[in-house]
Amino acid sequence: MDFGFTAEQAELRDTVRTFLSRQATSERVRAAAGFDSALWQRLTSELGVTALAIPEQYGGFGASEVEMGLVLEEAGRVLLPAPYLATVTAAAALDGDLATDLLAGIADGGTVATLALAEPGVGWSSKDWTCTARRSGAGYLLDGVKEHVLDGQVADVAVVAALCDGEPGLYAVRTADTRRTEHSTLDPTRRQVRLEFTATPATLVSRRGAEHALDLMWAAVAVESIGVARASLESTIDYLRTREQFGVPLAHFQALRHRIADLAVAVEAATSSAWYALRVAGTAEFAVAAPLAKLVATRAAGTVTAESIQLHGGIGFTWEHDAHLYLKRATANRLLLGDEVALRRLIADRAGLSAAMGQGVAPVDSTV
């Protein structure tokens, strides 16, 4: 597998980075409180980033998850206060033949979408869902609750995982038809809501169920977290190069160099995991690669952002410095849609390790 980026992909990254560095400033991110409508409009109309991975027949550019990931990583670098991750993951989970109009609306920037997957006290298997859909004329009616729905306060449409006659599927619901209650969260740069459905009109938009949608969300969060980690690490390195102690830059001290080296290694390992997951999207490997990427990338981002506050010294603990914003996004991503314990169990199950260990069979050759 070629892990390099093409010239066109590199140009896309540079274009998005340049745009966001000028528009998504720290002051603007702080003032937005999770959503900057003007910035979102410019992203969709001028750059067309929501259309990247949507097939051409539905109004998109027909690119891959890799191009989508490039924008996600750059969005993570600036803590983008816009529903990009929520919208593109929802779009990627749709079946084109069932959601033609919705895909077209997302592609042209007119529709903000989000995935509604998590339920209170319920696991990730479709057999555990309590949200149900029932047929009503030409459509469906939904009943149930979904929580931790990203950017649900500004989304026009929620793509909801539900069971209908025991069969899993994804259903599109107008958020205006639901009861929305905003969560109080640690991260002030991204908001979450709880959605409640009571005989809410819905349309079937995917027969693949939530597992694929959840994998897409995990991979997207992983790549975004790489952007968070890299921005935090670069800021820390710049500080150590310019801040002086005893007449020399802090970067002169070997102990601090060692700490930075360890963080850089963690980020590189996480980067490999995250980008591998996106590159195998659509294959059998994705079921293991996606949650693994989420586990590794969000852990690395959490470690880097926490260390960044320490390495910035006294200024790192202040409200005025952005270090705490990156720590909060990293922490929120780490807990979103499954903590590390749940992810490890899921990865072991999907990789066949749980069954092997249950039968007393070593999952790897112990002689190696």
CATH number of the domain bearing residue 51: 1.10.540.10
User: In the predicted model, what is the mean pLDDT of the chain?
Assistant: 90
Mean pLDDT score, 122-128:
69
Q: Domain residues for 172?
A: 113-209
Mean pLDDT score, 31-54:
94
192, 161, 195: which is closest to 175 by C-alpha?
Answer: 195
Distance CA 44, CA 84 (A): 9
Contact 172, 202 (CB under 8 A): yes
What is the predicted pLDDT for the residue at 194?
Answer: 96
Mean pLDDT score, 11-31:
95
What is the predicted pLDDT for the residue at 314?
Answer: 80
What is the predicted pLDDT for the residue at 138?
Answer: 86
307 and 339 belong to one structural domain: yes
CA torsion angle 73 74 78 83 (round to 10): -80
pTM of the model: 0.92
What is the predicted pLDDT for the residue at 125?
Answer: 65
297 and 343 belong to one structural domain: yes
Mean pLDDT score, 279-297:
94
Look at residue 274 and tell me whether its pLDDT is greater than 90. Answer: yes
Mean pLDDT score, 23-30:
95
What is the predicted pLDDT for the residue at 360?
Answer: 52
Q: Is residue 1 part of a domain?
A: no
Distance CA 307, CA 17 (A): 25
At 179 the three-state DSSP class reads strand
225 and 258 belong to one structural domain: yes
DSSP secondary structure letters along 181-224: EEPP-S-TTS-EEEEEEEEEEEEEEESS-HHHHHHHHHHHHHHH
Look at residue 279 and tell me whether its pLDDT is greater than 90. Answer: yes
Q: Is residue 364 part of a domain?
A: no
Contact 85, 72 (CB under 8 A): yes
What are the pLDDT digits (tens) for 301-320? 999 999 999 998 888 888 88
The tally of domains found in the chain comes to: 3
What is the predicted pLDDT for the residue at 315?
Answer: 86
302 and 322 belong to one structural domain: yes
